[in-house]
């Protein structure tokens, strides 16, 4: 259990440091790419809901909800970003 807690703390620290070092111009493309990772999390959370135990099922449902919100939000941000690069309607393309 201590090893898993250590991995969690190190991963959180690494994630915070990595995000702080990324230039602001790259945040949206990286969020778009992280949708694939959240998709994998959704599959894992769905599989985890079949485990026995109330706590495991509740945690799996929370993970499923959080990953789904992340994926949907990422697609909205990506759509908005791609809309910024589109030409004006009726304009020269």
Q: Which domain holds residue 55?
A: 51-83
C-alpha 68 chain-centroid distance: 8
CA dihedral 65, 34, 36, 54 (to 10 degrees): -30
Residue 67 within any structural domain of the chain: yes
d(CA 11, CA 7) in angstroms, rounded, equals 6
Mean pLDDT of 63-86: 82
Q: What is the mean pLDDT of the chain?
A: 81
pLDDT at 87: 59
22 Cβ partners below 8 Å, 6+ apart? Answer: 30
- Domain assignment of residue 36, yes or no: no
Does residue 88 lie in a domain region?
no
In a domain, 90, yes or no: no
**Among the listed ranges 33-37, 66-70, 87-91, which one has the minimum average pLDDT value?**
87-91
Q: Is the pLDDT of residue 79 over 60?
A: yes
């Amino acid at each position: 259990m201590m090893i898993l807690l250590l991995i969690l703390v190190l991963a959180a620290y690494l994630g915070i440091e990595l995000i702080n070092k990324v230039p602001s111009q790259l945040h949206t493309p990286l969020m778009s790419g992280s949708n694939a990772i959240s998709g994998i999390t959704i599959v894992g959370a769905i599989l985890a809901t079949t485990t026995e135990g109330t706590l495991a099922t509740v945690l799996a449902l929370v993970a499923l909800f959080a990953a789904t919100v992340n994926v949907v939000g990422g697609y909205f941000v990506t759509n908005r970003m791609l809309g910024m690069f589109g030409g004006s309607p009726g304009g020269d393309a």
